[in-house]
Structure 1
Amino acid sequence: MGNVQAVTSPSEVKVLVIYTGGTIGMTPKDGVLAPEANAFVEGLRKMPMLHDEEYAKKIGLEGNNTLVLPRDSTASRGFWCSSTVEEKTITRLTKTNKRVVYTVLEYSPLLDSSNISIEDWGTIGKEIEKEYENFKGFVILHGTDTMAYTASALSFMCEHLCKPIILTGSQVPIFEMKSDGTDNLLGALLIAGQFEIPEVCLYFCKKLFRGNRVTKVNAESFDAFSSPNLDPLAVADVEISGSGWRADHTAQFHVSTELNRNVGLLRLFPGITTATVTAFLQQPMEGVVLETYGSGNAPNNRPDLLAALKEATDNEVIIMNCTQCLKGTVSASYATGQVLNDAGLISGGDMTSEAALSKLSYVLAKKELDVNAKKKMMGQDLRGEVSYGAKTN
């Protein structure tokens, strides 16, 4: 990534766009889609909906990686915010006519999201931390396949966040005629530049989701993401109005890039062998998301299986009980759920598997905490990722 240089007037707001790759900027190559280096900004520059060339010349933005939204884009787009915010302290948002000036930092090499790693999460987070005071908000352009994992991970990594970080991308490249990329990028830029939403979010198909509540549910539709257990924070509309969280400015923003790799996902299925479970839970494994049936159930007629789980938790492996179902929460209503509590598993409530896995990675990396403190932290609501407990910043 390169250096950021953008100077704005009081009538403008600055947004940093971190372009990691993904479908949004891909072009055909040898019969398949692949990201092309150093082509994205030049392509955007030719799109009047995303760049006002005349205004850019007026303020001296020619020939660099900073672009500016046209005035009509800023004035005509708005968002209706859902009732989800009613449970929190809110602050009213007002209409603004400030220009959104955005600078694009291009990842090198550009990555298909299937190739995103924990190290890349750290790189993205540290770039935001470095430029945090220079921009009103941040947009991360990312491939859709692992976007929910990145959104969840960044939500935990970004401590004391007071500015919007919005992930988006597209199902069809932005330079193709029938692309969802234009609307997704434009919406993300407007949210990052004009809204006081101090958390990591994902914007897709006119809906703004909490980042650690989403999962990808469709590989073909523009409506690719869902937040099964939490309504969207906002939905695109024609008027700029609504509500957002009130930021806590009492602590300094920090990105925690220490993440534990010794975590994994294990899905129960009828007939799963104890040998499979035991092998999965062996060292160096330290944290596991166990995807269980229904409301957090497992067979209670398998003492061998339950013994393997109990042995692992006794050996300080933290196991989170998360439902395989798209919607709903874990409870101990059935005997087949209670046996997992007895084996030492921690209820994941209505967390997505993506959120539970990244939360484990974040919490287990805190070397100053003992295992009991880590278990307690896993049972708390840290970033709005689960529908119980006290949210902490």
Structure 2
Amino acid sequence: MKNRICIIYTGGTIGMKETPYGYAPVPGYMEKTLRSMQEFKEAEVPDYDFIEYAPLLDSSNITVENWNQIGKDIRERYCDYDGFVVMHGTDTMAYTASALSFMLQGLSKPIILTGSQIPLCKVRSDARENLITSMIIAAEYSIPEVCIYFGGKLIRGNRSTKVSSDMLIAFDSPNYGPLAEAGVNITLHQKRIRAESKELTFCPFENNQIAVLKIFPGIQFEIFENIMTDKLKGIVIEAFGAGNIPQNDDSMIRMLQKAKSNGTYIIVCTQCPRGSATIGQYETSKHLAEAGAICGFDMTVEAAVTKLYYLLSRQYEPKEIRILMESDIRGELSRDV
């Protein structure tokens, strides 16, 4: 008997169809196409059930509520399948993969997000390989993680980031090697894969206010002071290099102190694709340290944002949130717990 997986189709380029107004998602089109394709009837391809969201979502419109819905759908069907494939638009796929990795704790089977840069309906599409390989890995391999499969590589979801809008290798995992690679054979890198767990728990996210601020030369921090209210629960700062920010005037200090007095969590990540933030390594990060900023180390911004959503939703005490943000809880950063 063949293994069975669940495919959750949320939308995205992979299932779009040509219309007089350009590519657009068409309800029912994706499932009908898959059922008609000979590749999906081959012995190597697992049996599957298909869930299509209504309405189909452009990934640019994905919200916290959509993350919760995907997580809930997986949890409710978790015991019925050997693995899950989530078809998703590429623009925010790394955010969704990171979010699912935190809200679904205790995985014992694969959850793989995939999509494509070219729709399945086109002759020269990357959709077939991405989807078929995702299905095979989800059904046949013991990888108890939320992952992204794209362009021949399976990468940890909360280590992923989109690196290209027009190349077929659209995602990378800059600070952590792939969990598997698909060439002529599918090769697992077993030492990089997290240990299997046996008890799944699901934590939906509360819709807290979180902001992201990217530092740039000449930034005027006073512009951002007005968003520093007590409603803002956290701000992720994309700093220069190892966690540095300009020290040109007092507006930056005022902004940071206002955030601190409001109890807003300040998380510092690096803008560099590779490497780590380290608060206090240079003098230009001293004001971050004085404001009680939390070091994001080598977390992606996607992971930092969704991890904070998760910890706030668990309603941990502030001290515990600070400790856990700087600890590795799902393989999202390179630091011992």
**Residue 122 of structure 2: which of 176, 189, 201 is its match?**
176
**In the TM superposition, what is the alpha-carbon distance from 1:172 to its structure 2 partner?**
0.5
Alignment of 1:1-393 (within 5 A): 11-49=1-39, 51-52=40-41, 70-71=42-43, 74=44, 100-242=46-188, 243=190, 244-249=193-198, 252-331=199-278, 332-367=280-315, 369-390=316-337
One-letter identity of the residue aligned with 2:293: L
Q: 228-237 vs 128-137, which deviates more? A: 228-237
User: C-alpha distance in 1, partners of 2:200/2:107?
Assistant: 6
Evaluate the alpha carbon distance shift between residue 246 and residue 382 of structure 1 in structure 2; reply closer, same or farther with a 3 A threshold: closer
Tell me, which stretches of 5 or more residues in structure 1 are unaligned?
Answer: 1-10, 53-69, 75-98
**In the TM superposition, what is the alpha-carbon distance from 1:255 to its structure 2 partner?**
1.6
3-state SS of paired residue (2:232) = coil
| 1:295-351 Cα shifts (integer Å, max 9, x gaps) | 110123434312321331232110100111111111232111233122211110011
3-state SS of paired residue (1:355) = helix
Map of 1:5 onto structure 2 = none
**In the TM superposition, what is the alpha-carbon distance from 1:240 to its structure 2 partner?**
4.6
User: C-alpha distance in 1, partners of 2:226/2:310?
Assistant: 24
One-letter identity of the residue aligned with 1:149: Y
| 1:266-321 Cα shifts (integer Å, max 9, x gaps) | 11122222322312322310111011111110123434312321331232110100
User: C-alpha distance in 1, partners of 2:15/2:205?
Assistant: 30
User: C-alpha distance in 1, partners of 2:210/2:186?
Assistant: 42
User: C-alpha distance in 1, partners of 2:27/2:167?
Assistant: 27
Contact 2:174 2:273 in 1 (8 A): yes
Contact 1:307 1:343 in 2 (8 A): no
Contact 1:20 1:106 in 2 (8 A): yes
| 1:128-184 Cα shifts (integer Å, max 9, x gaps) | 000000000000000001101101111101011111100000001112100000000
Evaluate the alpha carbon distance shift between residue 380 and residue 102 of structure 1 in structure 2; reply closer, same or farther with a 3 A threshold: same
User: What's the TM-score once normalised by structure 2's chain length?
Assistant: 0.95
Map of 1:87 onto structure 2 = none
User: C-alpha distance in 1, partners of 2:289/2:18?
Assistant: 51
User: C-alpha distance in 2, partners of 1:241/1:333?
Assistant: 39
User: C-alpha distance in 2, partners of 1:29/1:281?
Assistant: 44
3-state SS of paired residue (2:56) = strand
**In the TM superposition, what is the alpha-carbon distance from 1:218 to its structure 2 partner?**
0.7
3-state SS of paired residue (2:252) = helix
RMSD of aligned C-alpha atoms? 1.4
Evaluate the alpha carbon distance shift between residue 241 and residue 312 of structure 1 in structure 2; reply closer, same or farther with a 3 A threshold: closer
Structure ID, larger Rg:
1
Tell me, which stretches of 5 or more residues in structure 2 are unaligned?
Answer: none
**Equivalenced residues, count:** 333
User: C-alpha distance in 1, partners of 2:90/2:49?
Assistant: 22
User: C-alpha distance in 2, partners of 1:261/1:179?
Assistant: 38
One-letter identity of the residue aligned with 1:373: E
| 1:174-227 Cα shifts (integer Å, max 9, x gaps) | 121000000000111011001111110000001001001111111111111111
**In the TM superposition, what is the alpha-carbon distance from 1:25 to its structure 2 partner?**
0.5
User: C-alpha distance in 1, partners of 2:334/2:235?
Assistant: 20
| 1:93-140 Cα shifts (integer Å, max 9, x gaps) | xxxxxx611111011111111111111111111110000000000000
* Relative contact order higher in (CA < 8 Å, ≥ 6 apart): 1
3-state SS of paired residue (1:111) = coil
3-state SS of paired residue (1:173) = coil
Q: 266-275 vs 129-138, which deviates more? A: 266-275
**In the TM superposition, what is the alpha-carbon distance from 1:241 to its structure 2 partner?**
4.9
User: What's the TM-score once normalised by structure 1's chain length?
Assistant: 0.82
User: C-alpha distance in 1, partners of 2:4/2:37?
Assistant: 19
